[in-house]
Structure 1
Amino acid sequence: MAKKTKEKQLKITQVRSIIGQKGTHKKTIEALGLKRIRHEVIQKDTPQIRGMVFKVKHLVSVEEI
């Protein structure tokens, strides 16, 4: 039987407002599922999610869980 490995996940928290940010940054925040400051979401740790987080790293904090 194959062993089940626990997938890595990221807890992403929006820490700054998107007001005055570029449109692409606003859309990236929305694509991550964030809606407001101090809103947290859990996402799978994939290269696509990592790339989106890198793009808005000045607006979010990230924690591996």
Structure 2
Amino acid sequence: MARKKQTQLEITLVKSPIGYSKRQKATLRVLGLKRLNQTVTHVDSVVLRGMLDKVSHLVVVQEA
């Protein structure tokens, strides 16, 4: 069987989480985002998409 290539997503923090809920700040921490304009790469999954949906107003997502 051939393996499917997993899609990678580049996530960049573009807006400060100051003034937002603790849950949203915690979600950013789990994603590995600590500073503005920091970019991390994750494998695309349903769980990741759910987290990105909750903080979509703070991040920019691109396919890697």
Structure 1 and Structure 2 fold alike (TM over 0.5): yes
Aligned twin of 1:53 = 52
SS at match of 2:24: helix
Q: Deviations over 1:3-56 (max 9, x none)?
A: 232101110000000111111000000010101100000011000000000000
Larger Rg: 1
- Report the identity percentage: 44
RMSD after superposition: 0.8
SS at structure 1 position matched to 2:30: helix
* Partner SS, residue 7 of structure 1: coil
Larger mean CA deviation between 41-50 and 4-13 belongs to: 4-13
Q: What is the aligned partner in structure 2 of residue 27 from structure 1?
A: 26
- 1:8 aligns to 2:21 (yes or no): no
**Unmatched runs of 5 consecutive residues or more in structure 1:** none
- Residue ranges of structure 2 left out of the alignment (5+ in a row): none
